[in-house]
Each structure stands twice: as structure tokens, then as C-alpha cells.
């Protein structure tokens, strides 16, 4: 038996609940009766029926729209991480290659400081900045992973734990998620950092996956129609209407976005 | 004749309540076991309840029959992820450390070496990134097929093989690393140990 087989055998035998048993502590009916008393962390609940309605054809639209709105809320974050999302390219194919110069200490310090002070908007800016990518690339593998873990720890929107090691490259995937997502919805955006250390040269790459078209449709329509105020400024700040989305992540802005998306979907349905 | 009796086949003639009751009765124990394998005991009930609440809300989306289980696992997987993300990294680490001894409580017939190695393999698993660890749990503890794992994790079946291979390799590496760092001090370990 190889070590790997032995380890897997040990792992399998360490199953803490080898036999799940057959009896439920309460019946389905009992469970359903308790639903009213349970508090859900899902903010979309208010948009949903108390119980599913099979023949309600409009509500799924609204649910989808709300999910799209939530997706769109983090588009800005992706925009920061991905400078050119309109081009479709295979997953895991790096988009930009940047030779990294050493000594980005100032950016690194600002980045960590921004995270520590929960200044996520600034942290995102810094994260999107090439200098920060250089900073990330210039650190060693342990520091790089530590930095990503630090970001994850202070901001629940990030899930940056997936780092894989295939010498000499390190790949870390940064998943954006949102607390108000339905658990079955996909993470809104995926940005992947690649850091390669080879022959003393450090190369940082980054790549982001393309979002579904419907997200872009909703988002671009949104910024086109409401080109005023802070959101308008954000829209104008980017040729594709993309901007910094951090300031939008408030209850008020989320509600506005929901409201708009509902109107958008209804108008589209009527049309 | 009751509604349940009428609704023998799982199809559109079944009411949502009946479909949910069947889903709940069929899979509750397994979903509970899934959650017990992943979170501290005091969080299991809430996690199971949240999972079935999603199922109730989205009963139209839940596959009938055995296909419902991977669907529920997928929801639970996301819910576990939400729980982890909602807490601090320190708290999550604490939870893991609290959970591990409970998971690996030895039985009298276990040898000291096996107990030590079981603890070590769980410690090694806790050092994997959570996706690698999850694929191993789904494979070894939930006994899911590759196709079912792909459905739970929402990845391509081909990617499952790759991820399983990577996870097994990484688990072995971590195990060996821990073993080098903390070699067994039991007499049996001095005689034998891992090859």
C-alpha cells in the first residue's frame, strides 16, 4: 500500500458520521411548521413567495432580476480586477503579462493599511492597480498567500483561499461572493491571479472570467439610464460604464438597484 | 385515498408539500450527516434547516428522486461556505480545531498509532484549501460518484478527476510534513510507521 493509499484509507476511516441513520428528528410537516419562526439570512426572501407557486411565471423573472442586480453590484469589483472583460477567452488563460519590478513596498503598505482599516474601496483600487499586482508578484509565495488570506479575513465578499502550487507557478483564485446571494447562484465574479517565479524573474498575471451577458445588459442599461450623481460619475469614469462599485454597497444602493432592476425587467416584459 | 397515496410517481401531479415531504424524509439524515462532518455540533441544526429552507423555496428546481441529494449537498456546501465567510478566519480555525478532536475520538480497540495517524490525517486535511478538502470529503465520506461530486461543486466531471488527484497529493504531502514535524513517539510507531 502506498503512502497515498494509506493516507486516504485513514481519511476515510476518520469519517465522523460513518452511518447517517434513517430517522429524522422531526417530520417534514413539523419542519415546515417551524419555518415562520426561523430567521433567514437571505435578504431576497422578501421578494419571494412564502411557499413556491408553480404557476407564477412573473416571479421567477423578478427573482432572476434581483440575482442579476446582486451580480451587477460586484461588477465594479471585477472591472477593477479585469481590465478587458469583453473578450471571451478560455478559462485559466492569462490575459496580461507584466514584468514585475521589485520594491513596491509603499503600495504594499497602503494596501495592507486599507484592508486593516476596512477601507475596502481603497483596497480594491490598490488591488486593481498594476503596482499592487507587482507588489503581489514581488512577494514570496507565503507572503502572497498570507496577503490574500488577510483580505479574505476582513472582507466577507472575498474568498481567496484557493491557491494551488505547481512549481514554479502559484495560482490563486479570488472569488467574489455576496452575502445576499442565494446560495445556488454562482459567485458573481471570478478573478484569478497568477504569480510565477522562475530564474529569479517574477511575473504576475491576472485574468478574469467573463460574466454572463445578462449581467452586462442590466448593468450597462442601468448606468446609461441613470447617468447622474455618484453612479453617473462611476459610469462616466469608464468607457464601458464600469466604475468603482464599492460605495454602492449600502442598503440604500442595493434597494435602489433592486428597484431599478425590477423596473427594467417589467419594462422589458411589457415591451 | 390520501394525497400522498395518489402521488406515487414523483411528477408534476405531486403537490409541492408532498414533494418536499418526500425530499425531507428521504434525505434529511444524509444532509444532517453531511453537516455534522463539516461544522461544530451546535451549528448543525441551523445549517440543515437553512438547507431545507432553500429546498422549500426552490422546490420546483429540486430534481426528483436520488438527484435531490446532490442538489441538497450543493446547497449545504454553499451554506457552509457562507458560515465560514461570515466568521473571522480565527474563528474558523478555532472551529476546525474544536471539531477535529470530536471527529477523531478513538475507540478502545484503536491502536495508539492509528489514533495518532487519524488525528494527523485530519489535521493534514484541515490544512488543505477548503475546495480540496471538500472534494475528499465528498468522495470518502459521502461516497459520491465523480459525476455527483461535479454536480455538488458545479464543476465539469473532468475537473473532478483533476481535483481529486490534486487533493490526494496535497493531503499526502501535508500528512508527511506533519509526520516529519511531529514523529510518532509510540513504541508501535518506532517499530513500523508509514512506508
When pLDDT is cut at 50, 70 and 90, the band that residue A28 belongs to is: confident
pLDDT value of position B59: 85
- Could you tell me the CA-to-CA distances from A83 to A136, A169, A234 in Å, in that order? 17, 22, 15
Side-by-side strand order, sheet with A169-176 = A96-99, A201-208, A189-198, A169-176, A158-166
Q: Which residues does chain A have within 8 Å of residue B176's beta carbon, measured at their own beta carbons?
A: 3
Report pLDDT for A270. 54
Of B17, B61, B168, the CB nearest to A8: B168
Side-chain-facing half-sphere of B24: CA atoms under 13 Å:
25
**How far apart, in whole angstroms, are the C-alpha atoms of residue A9 and residue B136?**
11
Q: In chain B, what residues touch A54 (CB-CB under 8 Å)? A: 12, 16, 60
Query: Which of B21, B36, B118 lies closest to A13 in CB terms?
Result: B118
- The set of long-range contacts for A33-36, using a CB threshold of 8 Å and a minimum separation of 24, is A34/B49, A35/B53, A35/B56
What ipTM was assigned to the predicted interfaces of this complex? 0.72
Peptide bond into A271 cis (omega under 30): no
pLDDT tens per residue across span A34-82: 665 443 322 222 222 223 333 333 333 333 333 333 333 333 333 333 3
pLDDT given for residue A25 in this prediction: 59
* Residues A184, B75: C-beta atoms closer than 8 Å: yes
The confidence band for A29, taking pLDDT boundaries of 50, 70 and 90, is: confident
Chain B contacts of A12, Cβ < 8 Å?
140-141
In chain A, the percentage of residues whose pLDDT exceeds 70 is 9
Q: What backbone torsions phi and psi does residue A189 show, to the nearest 5 degrees?
A: -140, 155
The pLDDT value recorded for residue B72 is: 93
A182 vs B54: CB contact, 8 Å cut-off?
Answer: yes
Per-chain mean pLDDT for chain A: 44
pLDDT in tens, A177-200: 332 223 333 333 434 344 443 444
Q: In this complex, do A184 and B61 lie within 8 Å of one another by their Cβ atoms?
A: yes
- Is A32 in Cβ contact with B17 (below 8 Å)? yes
Q: Are B176 and A3 an interchain contact pair (Cβ–Cβ within 8 Å)?
A: yes
How far apart are alpha carbons A243 and A229 in whole angstroms?
Answer: 13
Of residues B53, B102, B175, nearest to A7 (C-beta): B175
Higher pLDDT, A115 or B58: B58
Closest to A123 in 3D by CA, of A142, A139, A107: A107
DSSP letters spanning B48-95: HHHHHHHHHHTGGGSPSGGGHHHHHHHHHHHHHHHHHHHS-HHHHHHH
- Beta strand A169-176 with A201-208: parallel, antiparallel or unpaired? unpaired
411557499: which residue's cell?
A51
Q: What is the pLDDT of residue B115?
A: 74
- Alpha-carbon gap, residue A99 to A135, rounded angstroms: 11
Residue A131 grid coordinates: 503596482
Look at residue A211 and tell me whether its pLDDT is greater than 50.
Answer: no
- Write out chain B's pLDDT in tens, 195 residues: 334 445 555 555 677 788 888 888 899 999 998 888 888 777 788 888 888 888 887 888 888 888 899 999 988 887 776 665 444 433 443 444 344 333 334 444 445 667 778 888 888 887 777 778 888 999 998 888 888 898 888 788 888 888 888 889 889 988 888 888 766 544 443 333 333
Give the whole-angstrom CA distance, residue B31 versus residue B76: 8
Strand duo A96-99 + A169-176: pairing = unpaired
Amino acid at each position: 500500500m502506498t503512502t497515498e493509499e494509506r493516507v486516504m484509507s485513514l481519511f476515510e476511516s476518520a469519517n465522523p458520521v460513518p452511518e447517517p441513520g434513517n430517522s429524522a428528528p422531526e417530520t417534514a410537516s413539523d419542519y415546515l411548521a417551524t419555518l415562520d419562526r426561523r430567521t433567514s439570512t437571505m435578504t431576497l426572501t422578501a421578494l419571494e413567495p412564502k411557499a413556491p407557486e408553480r404557476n407564477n411565471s412573473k416571479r421567477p423573472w423578478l427573482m432572476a432580476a434581483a440575482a442579476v442586480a446582486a451580480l451587477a453590484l460586484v461588477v465594479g469589483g471585477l472591472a477593477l480586477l479585469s481590465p478587458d472583460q469583453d473578450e471571451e477567452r478560455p478559462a485559466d488563460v492569462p490575459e496580461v503579462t507584466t514584468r514585475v519590478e521589485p520594491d513596491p513596498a509603499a503600495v504594499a503598505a497602503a494596501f495592507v493599511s486599507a484592508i486593516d482599516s476596512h477601507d475596502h474601496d481603497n483596497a480594491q483600487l490598490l488591488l486593481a492597480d498594476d503596482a499592487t499586482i507587482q507588489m503581489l508578484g514581488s512577494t514570496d509565495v507565503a507572503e502572497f498567500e498570507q496577503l490574500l488570506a488577510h483580505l479574505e479575513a476582513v472582507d466577507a465578499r472575498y474568498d481567496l483561499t484557493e491557491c494551488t502550487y505547481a512549481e514554479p507557478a502559484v495560482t490563486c483564485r479570488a472569488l467574489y461572493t455576496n452575502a445576499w446571494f442565494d446560495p445556488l447562484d454562482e459567485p458573481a465574479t471570478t478573478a484569478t491571479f497568477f504569480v510565477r517565479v522562475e530564474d529569479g524573474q517574477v511575473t504576475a498575471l491576472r485574468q478574469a472570467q467573463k460574466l454572463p451577458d445578462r449581467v452586462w445588459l442590466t448593468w450597462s442599461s442601468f448606468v446609461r439610464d441613470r447617468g447622474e450623481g455618484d453612479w453617473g460619475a462611476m459610469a462616466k469614469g469608464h468607457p464601458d460604464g464600469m466604475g468603482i462599485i464599492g460605495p454602492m454597497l449600502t442598503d440604500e444602493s442595493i434597494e435602489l438597484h433592486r428597484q431599478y432592476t425590477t423596473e427594467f425587467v417589467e419594462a422589458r416584459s411589457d415591451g | 385515498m390520501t394525497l400522498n397515496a395518489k402521488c406515487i410517481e414523483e411528477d408534476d401531479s405531486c403537490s409541492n408539500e408532498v414533494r418536499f415531504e418526500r425530499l425531507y424524509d428521504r434525505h434529511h439524515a444524509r444532509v444532517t450527516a453531511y453537516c455534522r462532518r463539516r461544522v461544530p455540533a451546535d451549528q448543525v441544526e441551523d445549517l440543515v434547516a437553512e438547507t431545507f429552507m432553500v429546498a422549500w423555496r426552490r422546490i420546483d428546481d429540486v430534481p426528483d428522486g436520488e438527484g435531490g441529494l446532490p442538489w441538497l449537498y450543493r446547497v449545504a456546501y454553499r451554506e457552509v461556505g457562507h458560515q465560514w465567510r461570515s466568521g473571522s478566519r480565527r474563528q474558523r480555525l478555532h472551529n476546525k480545531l474544536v471539531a477535529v478532536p470530536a471527529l477523531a475520538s478513538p475507540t478502545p480497540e484503536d491502536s495508539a498509532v492509528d489514533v495518532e495517524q487519524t488525528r494527523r490525517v485530519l489535521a493534514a486535511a484541515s490544512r488543505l484549501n477548503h475546495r480540496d478538502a471538500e472534494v475528499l470529503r465528498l468522495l470518502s465520506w459521502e461516497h459520491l460518484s465523480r459525476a455527483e461530486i461535479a454536480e455538488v461543486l458545479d464543476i465539469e466531471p473532468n475537473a473532478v478527476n483533476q481535483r481529486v488527484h490534486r487533493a490526494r497529493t496535497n493531503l499526502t504531502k501535508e500528512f508527511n510534513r506533519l509526520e516529519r514535524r511531529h514523529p510518532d513517539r509510540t513504541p508501535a510507531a518506532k517499530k513500523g510507521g508509514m512506508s
